[in-house]
Structure 1
Amino acid sequence: MDMRLNHEPFLAIKNGSKKIEIRLNDEKRSQLKIGDEIKFTDLETGAVIRTQVLKLKQFATFKQLFAEYSGSIIGSPDDQTIEELDQDNMGIYSRERERKYGALAIGIKLI
Structure 2
Amino acid sequence: MKMSLYHQPFEAIKAGTKKIEVRLNDEKRSKLHVGDRIEFTDLTTSETVQVKVLGLEKFSSFKELFTKYSGEIIGEFENKSVTDLDLENQKIYSQTREAKYGALAIRIEILR
Question: Shorter chain as normaliser: what TM range?
Answer: over 0.9
Give the 3-state SS of the residue equivalent to 2:67 in structure 1. Answer: helix
Unaligned 5+ segments in structure 1 are none
Which ranges in structure 2 are unaligned for 5 or more consecutive residues? Answer: none
Partner residue in 2 for 1:13:
13
Distance in 2 separating the partners of 1:3 and 1:62? 19
Q: CA deviation at 1:104?
A: 0.1
Write out aligned runs for 1:87-98 (5 A): 87-98=87-98
Name the CA distance, whole Å, in 1 between partners of 2:55 and 2:70.
16
Please state whether the residue corresponding to 1:92 is helix, strand or coil.
coil
Q: For 1:45-68, what per-residue CA distance to the aligned partner results, in whole angstroms no more than 9, with x for missing partners? A: 000000000000000000000000
Q: How many residues align?
A: 111
Q: Secondary structure at the match of 2:87?
A: helix
Alignment TM-score, normalising by the size of structure 1: 0.99
| Distance apart, 1:85 and its partner CA | 0.4
Counterpart residue number, 1:31: 31
Give the superposition deviation at 1:110: 0.5
Q: TM-score, normalised by structure 2?
A: 0.99
Q: Where in structure 1 do 4 or more consecutive aligned residues deviate above 3 Å?
A: none
- Offset at residue 109 of structure 1 (A): 0.3
Question: Who is 2:68 aligned against?
Answer: 68
Q: Which amino acid aligns with 1:26?
A: D
- Distance in 2, matches of 1:52 and 1:70, equals 21
Q: Which amino acid aligns with 1:92?
A: I
Identity, % of aligned positions: 55
In the TM superposition, residue 15 of structure 1 has moved relative to its aligned partner by: 0.2
Q: Equivalent residue for 2:49?
A: 49
- Structure 1 counterpart of 2:44, which letter? E
Offset of 1:30 from its aligned partner? 0.2
RMSD: 0.3
